[in-house]
Amino acid sequence: MASNTESMVLSDRKITDEKLKDSGETLHVESADSSDDGSDSIEQTDTGKVTWLISATVSLGGFLFGYDTGVISAVLISLKSDLGHVLSSSEQELITSITSGGALIGAVIAGLFADRLGRKLPLYLGCLMFSVGAIIQAAAYSIIQMTIGRFIVGLGVGSAAMVIPLYIGELAPAKYRGRMIAFDNMSVTLGQLISYALGAAFAEVSNGWRYMVGLGILPALILAALMPMCPESPRQLLLHGKTDEARVVLRRTYPNASELQVTSKLNLINYSITEMKLTTGEKSMWWSFTQLFTDAPSRRALICACTVMAISQLGGFNTLMYYSGTLFSLVGFNKPAAVSIVVGATNFVFTFVNMFIIDRVGRRRILLWTVSGMAISLVVAAVAFHFIPINKELVLEATGVNWAGILVLVTIIFYVAFFASGVATIGWVGTELLPLPVRALGTMANTVTCWGCNIIIASTFLSMMKSMSPSGAFGFYAGICGFGWLFILLEYPEVKNMPLESVQEVFAHGFGVKYAKKLQKEAKAQRKGATAGVV
């Protein structure tokens, strides 16, 4: 009996055939034996190691993303008057948030050209931006120079953050897609951890912060040197008519698949591309962008992806990434850069945990568990801050750390564990929800959501701490997490193990929570039946 996924594929093909007939167009596809199981069967074959190596290579961009956004925490402590004078809170917020502003612009630029120029070129440009920005920062002697360097690095961060999950999602087999994208996010957390460690190592070194930011050039050069060995994604190759090259990439991705299975997969992707071309025709990029909001299934997919991304940014984590040294100094720790390593290590370890469970447990259940944990942790931290003597100028009116300061550290560690094992990764996995015709532009919108919300957090945290008190600020973040949990419960469908060409079918049924659950149950029952039949 055909699987539910195959049924959806056949339905999609029937619709496309009708459109082709109505338009008078023809689609050339290579024949495949009717007995072949289609693209669903190729997804059950063993995946080649090459795909994992490619994912690991491009994830160096994620490492750069994490390193260049995380290093600012230690830099803010070490700068002192090296830029001409001791920085005010607003100046600290400026050089912190400007990277997010650059990332937002970098994501838009990469998104606009990702379909036309492919997924690899934006990564090359990102490496260039990382390198130039690192050099300018390391040589900075004024706030203007530092700001320019941070902005240029941001362009690279935004380009990498937008393209890498998109590239891996299109290259990865369905059963490993979550894990491979999670590997990129794990690289982000590794970059943050390394930046915290170097921050502690150079804390007492004269002009040590220059070494911290300058070292960011090394991974950029390594990534640029390895990129020629990474192929373009099969969907991009087929979109530009390079069928033979796409076949080679699929053969490397599924080395144990038969020729019929590879052909069937090529045909399936071709059908989705042809349907996209029939839909978009000669329409402008602006018209395609508006489809994200006017086409109901695309709009629902975008809302799901962007909401989870917004929770990951507005839920408070970036206050720790950018200001962890400042925050732990505020509650009384005399070596805040060293304490930040604990946070970075927790973030890395639990991102690693997510990589192993995301394709088994599924996105929805992980989100429900972890977002609720984030909210509870933030509530506890907000209460603990009430018992720490901090004045309105964010100065600790005590010496040493009291019990409340220890509790803040413990709850932050729990919060980071929940964050890293949930929205931190799944926010980027959300690209899988977007249909092919708008996937690049939708990924751009998702990345813009990331950096737009990131700017809000980076540029307002210290001000919120002063105006609302630390308890008020952390209570506000807890409220956002509570809202996010409710949205996930009501509107976020489970699409684990579904081919990208079939995910959009879920959003044709509203937000598809019940429909997706039905598909998952049917697929599970069919797998059990197939196993029993083999036995």
pLDDT in tens, the chain (535 residues): 334 444 444 444 444 444 444 444 444 444 434 334 444 578 778 777 888 888 889 998 889 888 987 888 888 888 888 898 888 878 888 888 898 888 889 888 887 777 777 788 888 988 999 999 999 999 999 999 999 999 999 999 888 888 888 888 888 887 888 888 888 888 888 998 898 888 888 877 888 899 999 998 999 999 999 999 888 888 888 888 888 999 998 888 888 888 888 888 888 888 878 877 776 666 677 777 888 888 898 999 999 999 999 999 899 887 776 666 667 777 667 676 667 788 888 888 898 888 888 888 889 999 999 999 999 999 998 998 888 877 776 776 667 678 888 888 888 889 999 999 999 889 988 888 988 778 878 888 888 898 888 888 878 887 888 888 888 989 999 999 999 999 999 999 998 877 776 777 888 888 988 888 888 787 777 766 655 555 4
Where are the domains positioned within the chain?
45-230+297-502, 235-275
Write out the CATH class of domain 45-230+297-502: mainly alpha
Measured CA to CA, the distance from residue 94 to residue 143 in angstroms comes to: 9
CA-to-CA distance for 177 and 170, rounded, in angstroms?
A: 9
Q: How far apart are CA 420 and CA 409, in angstroms?
A: 16
Nearest to 74 by CA among 99, 98, 92, 100: 92
Question: Which residues make Cβ contacts (< 8 Å) with residue 204, sequence separation at least 6?
Answer: none
User: Dihedral angle at the C-alpha atoms of 480, 485, 486, 487, nearest 10 degrees?
Assistant: 90
pTM of the predicted structure, to 2 decimals: 0.72
Q: Tell me how far CA of residue 252 lies from CA of 52, 171, 231, in angstroms.
A: 11, 10, 10
C-alpha span between 396 and 371 (Å, rounded): 30
